[in-house]
C-alpha cells in the first residue's frame, strides 16, 4: 500500500505533468503525432516527465541532504558564531605557528578568519607616530601612549619592563591591533579573530578582556590560548628560526641569537602564565605544552572554542611528507561520466604501477636526507650562515627515519583501490575510507556533463553559478561543502599522524584536501586545476610547508618535477 508521502508525490507529479503537457508547445500537431503512440509505461522515461519529477524531488529534498559545514551553520547564530582567540606565551614558543595553522583550518571550514599580529604592527610603527584613532571614542590611551622612540628599535632593550617609553608604545600598538580585530568581527563580517602577541602579563590580559566587553558586551566569546615550551631541543630550534625573521634578517646570526635570548629574558621578568586568575574569573583558556605533549583546558564550552581545541589536540611537528593524487584514469573518465564506480583503464593501470615505484624512490631519498641532516648537526640560517653544533634542526636519527611508517589512504571506489594495488604490503599500510569517496551526484550520477546540460538545464546553470554551494539533487546528492564536512575527520587524522601519508581520491576530494594543505581560499576550491596524472607533495615546516608538483610522463614511465 502506498504511503501518504508516496500518494502526495504522485499527485504532485500528475499535476506538473498535466501542466507540462497542456503548455502551448504540446498542442502542436507535430508534438501530438510524436507522442500519441508512446506506451503508458514509458511515460516517465520522457525528458519532459523526468524534468517534472526532478522538480518535485528537489522541492522535497533540497535542504534535507547531508549536514552543511560548521562555518555556514555558525553564520546563523549571531554573536555566538564569533570568537576572539588571544595567544599567550613567551617568544619562540610557537604562537605564530599555531595561529597560522588555526587560521588555515578555520578558513577551510568556511569561517571568516583573520590573524592580527601585534609584532608586525610594532615593526611598522616603532620610530614614527601611530596613526591617531580620533574616530574611535572607545580608544583610551594611557598617559604618554603617543610618545615614540627617537629611532626604530627592536633590540632586547626595547622589551625591558624598565623601559617605560617603549612600554607605552607597545601597549598602544597592542590595543590598536585589538581594535582592528574587533572592527573585523563587529563590522567587517568576520567570525574569528586571532590576536597574535605575547600577552604575557596579567595587566595586559585584563586590559584585553575589558576592551572586548566595552565594545562588544559579554556575549562575544574570548578564548585564551597559551603555548608553553619546556623541551630544550624544540626551544632552540624555535629560537634559531627566529633569526631569519624580520627583526634579525641580514644580521650576524651569533649576535642576533644573543640579542634574542636577552629579549626572552626581559619578558620572563614579568611573565605570568595562565592559571589561578583566569580560573577565579571564569575565563576560557587552553594551555598547550610542547606543541601537543600536554593540554590543560578550562571552561571551553562554546561551539567555536570546542572546534579550536579539538583541532589543536591533533597537531604534531614530526618530520614527514604528505602526498596527494587523483586515481589513475578510469573507464568513466574516458566516457566523460559524472560519478560512477568503474575500474581503471589500461593507461590508469600503467599510472598506478609508476606511482608505486616513484613513491618508493622518494621515500628512500627522504630517509637519506634526514639521516644526513642528523649526522651533520648543523642548521642553515637566513642567507646561508650556519651555527655548527646546534640542536638538531633537521633530520632524524637512523633508527627514527627507518621506523617512519607510510600510510596509503584511498576511497572505497574501485578506481582508487586499484590505483593503490601495486604498493608493497610489507612496506605500506593501505587503508580504504568511505570519507574519501567522490562527491555524490545524486539523481545525475552516471550522466555526462553534456547530458546534464541538455536534460537538466536548470541544474547545470545553478552549478555553474555557484559550484561551492551547489548540491546535486536527490536523497544522496552532495555538494563541495558536504564533502568538506565529511573530510574534517581525515584532516584531523592527517594532522595527528607522525608518519608519511599518500591520499588517493577523486577530483573533488583532491581539490578540497589540496586547498587545506596549501591554505587556499574557499572560492578557489571548485576550479582548482587537479588533472589526472599529477602528484602533489607537501612537507610540513614550522612556518609553512615545502610544496612540489610532479607530472607523470608516459614516455619514460616516470614523474617530472613541475617547475612552473
Q: Which residue has the higher pLDDT, 143 or 536?
A: 536
Quick one: cell of 426? Answer: 610489507
SS3 225: strand
Q: Which residue has the higher pLDDT, 358 or 171?
A: 358
Distances (CA, A) of 479 to 63, 72, 473, 540: 12, 13, 10, 29
Instruction: List CB contacts of 178: < 8 A, sequence separation 6 or more.
Output: 116, 195, 208, 211, 212
Is the confidence at residue 154, as pLDDT, over 80? no
Is the confidence at residue 424, as pLDDT, over 70? yes
Q: Which residue has the higher pLDDT, 100 or 23?
A: 100
Is the confidence at residue 552, as pLDDT, over 70? yes
| Residues facing residue 115 across a β-bridge | 194
Examine the domain organization and report whether 300 and 344 are in the same domain: no
Q: Give the residue from 476, 479, 559 showing the smallest Cα distance to 525.
A: 479
First to last CA, the chain: 63
Sign of CA dihedral 480, 486, 490, 496: positive
Alpha-carbon Rg for the chain in angstroms: 29
Task: Find the mean pLDDT for residues 150-159.
Answer: 54
Quick one: cell of 528? Answer: 582548482
Place of cell 599580529: 117
Determine the pLDDT at residue 234. 82
Q: Is residue 239 part of a domain?
A: yes
Instruction: List CB contacts of 23: < 8 A, sequence separation 6 or more.
Output: none
| 102/520 Cα distance (integer angstroms) | 13
**Domain count across the chain:** 3
Q: Is residue 372 part of a domain?
A: yes
Examine the domain organization and report whether 421 and 304 are in the same domain: no
Determine the pLDDT at residue 20. 44
Examine the domain organization and report whether 137 and 22 are in the same domain: no
Examine the domain organization and report whether 364 and 505 are in the same domain: yes
- Name the percent of the chain lying above pLDDT 70: 72
Determine the pLDDT at residue 530. 98
| 202/83 Cα distance (integer angstroms) | 21
Q: Which residue has the higher pLDDT, 37 or 371?
A: 371
| 454/202 Cα distance (integer angstroms) | 66
Determine the pLDDT at residue 57. 53
Task: Find the mean pLDDT for residues 298-326.
Answer: 94
> Could you give the angle at the alpha carbon of 23 between the alpha carbons of 18 and 26, nearest 5°?
95
Torsion, Cα of 213, 214, 215, 218 (10° steps): 30
Determine the pLDDT at residue 395. 52
Contact 448, 506 (CB under 8 A): no
Interaxial angle between packed helices 202-216 and 164-186, expressed in degrees from 0 to 180 and rounded to the nearest 10: 30
Examine the domain organization and report whether 197 and 274 are in the same domain: yes
Torsion, Cα of 16, 19, 23, 25 (10° steps): 40
**Burial, 529: exposed, middle or buried (Cβ in 10 Å; 0-12, 13-18, 19+)?**
exposed
Q: Is residue 495 part of a domain?
A: yes
Q: Is residue 317 part of a domain?
A: no
- Work out the pLDDT band at 46, boundaries 50, 70, 90: low
Instruction: List CB contacts of 325: < 8 A, sequence separation 6 or more.
Output: 355, 419, 502, 503, 504, 510, 534, 535, 536
Contact 415, 504 (CB under 8 A): no
- Work out the pLDDT band at 64, boundaries 50, 70, 90: very low
Q: What are phi and psi of 135, to 5 degrees?
A: -70, -10
**Domain limit, last residue, from 254, 280, 312:** 312
Determine the pLDDT at residue 253. 85
Determine the pLDDT at residue 375. 58
**Domain limit, last residue, from 61, 83, 109:** 61
- Work out the pLDDT band at 88, boundaries 50, 70, 90: very high
Q: Is residue 477 part of a domain?
A: yes
Query: What are the pLDDT digits (tens) for 171-202?
Result: 889 999 999 999 999 999 999 999 999 999 99
**Mean pLDDT score of the chain, rounded to an integer?**
81
Ranges 23-32, 240-249, 553-562, most confident: 553-562
Examine the domain organization and report whether 75 and 44 are in the same domain: no
Q: Is residue 22 part of a domain?
A: yes
Domain limits at 15? 4-61
SS3 440: coil
Q: Which residue has the higher pLDDT, 4 or 355?
A: 355
| 6/2 Cα distance (integer angstroms) | 6
Place of cell 578558513: 107
- Work out the pLDDT band at 391, boundaries 50, 70, 90: very low
Residue 218 CA from chain centroid, whole number: 29
Residue 29: in which H helix or E strand, if any?
helix 29-35
- Percent helix, strand, coil in the chain, to 5, is 45, 15, 35
Q: Which residue has the higher pLDDT, 282 or 61?
A: 282
- Work out the pLDDT band at 76, boundaries 50, 70, 90: very low
According to DSSP, residue 127 is labeled: T
| 472/456 Cα distance (integer angstroms) | 11
Determine the pLDDT at residue 128. 44
Looking at residue 129, which CATH number applies to its domain?
3.40.50.300
Examine the domain organization and report whether 285 and 354 are in the same domain: no
Q: Is residue 542 part of a domain?
A: yes
User: Would you list the DSSP string of 359-372?
Assistant: HHHHHHHHHHHHHH
Determine the pLDDT at residue 7. 44
Examine the domain organization and report whether 193 and 257 are in the same domain: yes
SS3 137: coil
Examine the domain organization and report whether 350 and 410 are in the same domain: yes
Determine the pLDDT at residue 260. 83
Contact 282, 308 (CB under 8 A): no
Q: Give the residue from 453, 488, 458 showing the smallest Cα distance to 470.
A: 458
Looking at residue 468, which CATH number applies to its domain?
3.40.50.1240
Residue 76 CA from chain centroid, whole number: 22
Is the confidence at residue 73, as pLDDT, over 50? no
Determine the pLDDT at residue 370. 86
- Name the percent of the chain lying above pLDDT 90: 57
- Work out the pLDDT band at 70, boundaries 50, 70, 90: low
Ranges 17-21, 52-56, 370-374, 425-429, most confident: 425-429
Determine the pLDDT at residue 472. 97
Q: Is residue 192 part of a domain?
A: yes
Determine the pLDDT at residue 450. 95
Task: Find the mean pLDDT for residues 370-386.
Answer: 54
Task: Find the mean pLDDT for residues 221-242.
Answer: 88
Is the confidence at residue 431, as pLDDT, over 70? yes
Place of cell 508534438: 31
Quick one: cell of 267? Answer: 619578558
| 22/444 Cα distance (integer angstroms) | 27
Strand pairing class (221-228; 294-298): unpaired
Determine the pLDDT at residue 160. 59
Mapped to the 3 state alphabet, what secondary structure does 310-352 carry? HHHCCCCCCCCCEEEEECCCEHHHHHCECCCCCCECHHHHHHH
Distances (CA, A) of 446 to 75, 137, 335, 418, 442: 35, 61, 10, 20, 9
Residue 561: in which H helix or E strand, if any?
strand 558-561
**Burial, 250: exposed, middle or buried (Cβ in 10 Å; 0-12, 13-18, 19+)?**
exposed
Examine the domain organization and report whether 116 and 138 are in the same domain: yes
Query: What are the pLDDT digits (tens) for 122-143?
Result: 766 654 444 444 334 333 333 3
* Listed range (69-78, 108-117, 142-151, 548-557) with the worst mean pLDDT: 142-151
Instruction: List CB contacts of 170: < 8 A, sequence separation 6 or more.
Output: 122, 159
Determine the pLDDT at residue 169. 80
| 198/214 Cα distance (integer angstroms) | 22
| 166/159 Cα distance (integer angstroms) | 7
Examine the domain organization and report whether 410 and 546 are in the same domain: yes
Place of cell 617530472: 560
Examine the domain organization and report whether 399 and 496 are in the same domain: yes
Q: Which residue has the higher pLDDT, 395 or 343?
A: 343
- Work out the pLDDT band at 220, boundaries 50, 70, 90: very high
Is the confidence at residue 69, as pLDDT, over 80? no
**Domain limit, last residue, from 263, 281, 312:** 312
Amino acid at each position: 500500500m502506498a504511503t501518504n508521502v508516496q500518494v502526495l508525490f504522485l499527485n504532485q507529479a500528475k499535476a506538473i505533468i498535466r501542466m507540462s503537457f497542456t503548455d502551448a508547445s504540446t498542442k502542436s500537431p507535430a508534438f501530438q503525432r510524436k507522442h500519441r503512440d508512446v506506451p503508458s509505461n514509458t511515460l516517465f522515461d520522457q525528458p519532459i516527465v523526468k524534468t517534472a519529477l526532478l522538480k518535485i524531488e528537489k522541492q522535497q529534498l533540497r535542504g534535507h541532504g547531508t549536514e552543511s559545514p560548521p562555518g555556514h551553520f555558525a553564520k546563523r547564530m549571531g554573536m555566538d558564531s564569533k570568537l576572539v582567540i588571544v595567544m599567550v606565551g613567551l617568544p619562540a614558543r610557537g604562537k605564530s605557528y599555531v595561529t597560522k595553522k588555526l587560521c588555515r583550518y578555520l578558513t577551510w571550514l568556511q569561517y571568516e578568519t583573520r590573524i592580527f599580529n601585534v609584532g608586525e604592527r610594532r615593526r611598522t610603527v616603532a620610530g614614527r607616530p601611530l596613526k591617531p584613532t580620533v574616530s574611535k571614542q572607545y580608544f583610551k590611551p594611557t598617559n604618554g601612549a603617543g610618545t615614540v622612540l627617537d629611532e626604530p628599535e627592536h633590540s632586547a632593550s626595547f622589551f625591558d619592563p624598565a623601559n617605560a617609553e617603549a612600554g607605552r608604545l607597545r601597549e598602544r600598538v597592542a590595543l590598536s591591533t585589538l581594535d582592528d580585530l574587533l572592527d573585523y568581527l563587529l563590522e567587517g563580517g568576520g567570525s574569528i579573530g586571532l590576536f597574535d602577541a605575547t600577552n604575557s602579563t596579567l595587566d595586559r590580559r585584563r586590559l584585553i578582556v575589558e576592551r572586548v566587553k566595552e565594545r562588544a558586551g559579554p556575549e562575544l566569546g574570548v578564548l585564551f590560548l597559551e603555548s608553553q615550551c619546556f623541551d630544550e631541543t624544540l626551544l632552540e630550534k624555535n629560537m634559531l628560526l627566529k633569526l631569519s625573521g624580520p627583526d634579525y634578517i641580514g644580521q650576524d646570526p651569533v649576535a642576533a641569537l644573543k640579542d634574542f635570548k636577552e629579549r626572552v629574558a626581559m619578558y620572563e621578568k614579568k611573565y605570568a602564565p595562565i592559571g589561578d586568575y583566569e580560573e577565579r574569573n571564569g575565563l576560557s583558556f587552553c594551555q598547550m605544552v610542547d606543541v601537543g605533549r600536554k593540554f590543560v583546558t578550562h571552561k571551553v564550552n562554546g561551539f567555536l572554542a570546542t572546534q579550536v581545541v579539538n583541532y589543536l589536540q591533533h597537531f604534531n611537528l614530526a618530520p614527514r611528507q604528505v602526498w596527494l593524487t587523483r586515481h589513475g584514469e578510469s573507464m568513466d573518465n574516458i566516457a566523460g561520466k559524472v560519478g560512477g564506480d568503474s575500474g581503471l583503464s589500461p593507461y590508469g593501470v600503467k599510472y598506478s604501477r609508476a606511482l608505486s615505484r616513484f613513491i618508493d624512490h622518494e621515500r628512500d631519498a627522504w630517509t637519506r636526507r634526514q639521516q644526513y641532516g642528523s649526522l651533520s648537526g648543523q642548521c642553515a640560517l637566513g642567507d646561508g650562515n650556519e651555527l655548527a653544533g646546534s640542536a638538531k634542526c633537521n633530520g632524524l636519527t637512523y633508527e627514527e627515519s627507518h621506523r617512519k611508517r607510510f600510510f596509503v589512504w584511498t576511497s572505497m571506489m574501485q578506481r582508487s583501490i586499484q590505483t593503490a594495488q601495486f604498493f608493497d604490503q610489507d612496506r605500506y599500510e593501505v587503508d580504504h575510507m568511505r570519507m574519501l569517496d567522490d562527491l555524490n551526484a545524486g539523481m545525475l550520477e552516471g550522466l555526462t556533463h553534456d547530458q546534464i546540460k541538455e536534460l537538466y538545464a536548470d541544474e547545470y546553470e545553478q552549478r555553474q553559478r555557484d559550484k561551492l554551494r551547489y548540491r546535486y539533487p536527490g536523497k544522496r546528492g552532495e555538494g563541495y561543502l558536504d564533502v568538506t564536512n565529511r573530510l574534517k575527520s581525515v584532516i584531523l587524522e592527517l594532522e595527528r599522524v607522525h608518519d608519511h601519508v599518500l591520499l588517493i581520491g577523486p577530483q573533488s576530494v583532491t581539490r578540497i584536501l589540496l586547498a587545506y594543505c596549501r591554505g587556499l581560499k574557499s572560492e578557489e576550491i571548485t576550479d582548482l586545476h587537479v588533472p589526472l596524472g599529477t602528484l602533489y607533495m607537501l612537507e610540513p615546516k614550522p612556518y609553512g610547508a615545502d610544496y612540489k608538483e610532479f607530472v607523470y610522463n608516459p614516455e619514460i614511465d616516470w614523474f617530472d618535477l613541475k617547475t612552473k
